[in-house]
Amino acid sequence: MTLTGLSSTPAVSPRSELVISAKGVSKRFDNHQAISDVSLDIERGRVFGLLGPNGAGKTTTVRLLNHVLTPDSGEIWLFGERLTAATADEVRSRIGVQTDTNIYESLTARENLHFWAELYGVPKQRRRARVDELLEIMELTDRASSLAGTFSKGMRQKLGVARAVVHRPELLFLDEPTTGLDPEASLKLIDFLRGMIATDHTTMVMCTHQLDGLETLCTDVGVLIDGRMAASGPMESLVSERWPGHWVTLELANSSLANLESAHRVLADQFPEANASITDAAALLVSMPQAEMTERLVATLVHHEFAIRALVPVQRSIRDVYFDVIGSARGGAV
């Protein structure tokens, strides 16, 4: 664990391409250890999905990374600069945060966005255009002059995201950004966020339970359990560590158990380097060291007169990683 306040710490991190670098961060509230020895690195333009069950410490982590909470130990670097009370306010001007906190209900949608734009120092000559642009993107133009207190949950959510991005932040924290949105609005929001990454190289940290939909956005994942980072890293690394090789699902025309077991024996005999199992859905799940083996595997089964109905490559998702990590942490209980 690294301690804070080391006078020999350099003013600028040597790995300044990292937007976020946290080392051994811990935080305790009274008799509750909220965060324990959490470390993570996030590079520019990456989208980090911060996952975890309720109470795992996601919100506390976001608060620590914004220095609205001070870590008991460990150190945090943002944009290559050590995060301290002296640097936090300046660093925050480069960050946008959308949390589940409320918007100002007695202000209109436009006033809410102007308020945020002014706080973040968006120049006056660009402010109106930016606010109008975001109202248009979030489909709130018609309600721009309505008090936010009259908005539906979905509209509040869109306004919350809009205010977080009004100053085009380099780093964006999002907390369940699609909650309350209908499927169409969710897709539009994800497209908008994807556009921010493509055009502005925005780095994002996304706290979510919404494991479907947002996974296409996440390049990196961290899973917090009881305040500890149980797993973190790029999605492809996390997947390849857990499910090495190439995975396919084979569906046979004859899906009887006897036929599946027969095919399983053929594969075990002919491809000892591959692993096959029969799934609950009456199919064969096969893992192999290289994707190139697939053709030979199919040819062998056909040669043994098995009629193949479908061959589907298995795409491991953020959901699979999440449940695998949770399951491992709880001794396979999930």
Q: Is 176 left (phi over 0), alpha (psi -120 to 50) or beta?
A: left
Amino acid at 73: S
**Min separation Cβ 242 and other proteins, Å:** 34
CB nearer to other proteins: pick between 103 and 189: 103
Q: Does 292 bind other proteins (CB under 8 A)?
A: no
* Range 156-215, binding other proteins (CB under 8 A): 163
Beta partners for residue 23, in sequence order: 75
Q: Does 90 bind other proteins (CB under 8 A)?
A: yes
CB nearer to other proteins: pick between 98 and 286: 98
Choice from 63, 110, 143, 156 touching other proteins (CB under 8 A): 63
How buried is residue 133: exposed, middle or buried, by Cβ count under 10 Å (0-12/13-18/19+)? middle
* Stretch near other proteins under the rule CB under 8 A, chosen from 3-11, 114-122, 188-196, 326-334: 114-122
**Min separation Cβ 189 and other proteins, Å:** 18
Q: Does 216 bind other proteins (CB under 8 A)?
A: no
Three-state SS string over the chain comes to CCCCCCCCCCCECCCCCEEEEEEEEEEEECCEEEEEEEEEEEECCCEEEEECCCCCCHHHHHHHHCCCCCCCEEEEEECCEECCHHHHHHHHCCEEEECCCCCCCCCEHHHHHHHHHHHCCCCHHHHHHHHHHHHHHCCCHHHCCCEHHHCCHHHHHHHHHHHHHCCCCCEEEEECCCCCCCHHHHHHHHHHHHHHHHHHCCEEEEECCCCCCHHHCCCEEEEEECCEEEEEEEHHHHHHHHCCCEEEEEEECCCCHHHHHHHHHHHHHHCCCCEEEECCCCCEEEEECCCCHHHHHHHHHHHCCCCEEEEEECCCCHHHHHHHHHHHHCCCCC
* Site size for other proteins (CB under 8 A): 28
* Range 25-54, binding other proteins (CB under 8 A): 29
**Min separation Cβ 250 and other proteins, Å:** 50
**Min separation Cβ 296 and other proteins, Å:** 56
Choice from 105, 136, 182, 212 touching other proteins (CB under 8 A): 105
**Min separation Cβ 309 and other proteins, Å:** 53
**Min separation Cβ 111 and other proteins, Å:** 7
Choice from 31, 54, 101, 199 touching other proteins (CB under 8 A): 101
Residue whose tokens read 């721009």: 144
Q: Does 269 bind other proteins (CB under 8 A)?
A: no
**Min separation Cβ 106 and other proteins, Å:** 5
Choice from 70, 87, 146, 317 touching other proteins (CB under 8 A): 70
**Min separation Cβ 190 and other proteins, Å:** 22
Q: Quick count: other Cβ atoms within 10 Å of Cβ 274?
A: 20
Q: Does 55 bind other proteins (CB under 8 A)?
A: no
Choice from 4, 21, 36, 66 touching other proteins (CB under 8 A): 66
Q: Does 95 bind other proteins (CB under 8 A)?
A: yes
Q: Does 301 bind other proteins (CB under 8 A)?
A: no
Q: Does 119 bind other proteins (CB under 8 A)?
A: yes
Q: Which tokens sit at 14? A: 């040597």
Residues whose CB falls within 8 Å of the CB of residue 128, separated by 6 or more in sequence, listed in order: none
Q: Does 102 bind other proteins (CB under 8 A)?
A: yes
Residues that bind other proteins (CB under 8 A): 29, 63, 66, 68-70, 89-90, 92-93, 95, 97, 99, 101-107, 111, 115-116, 118-121, 163
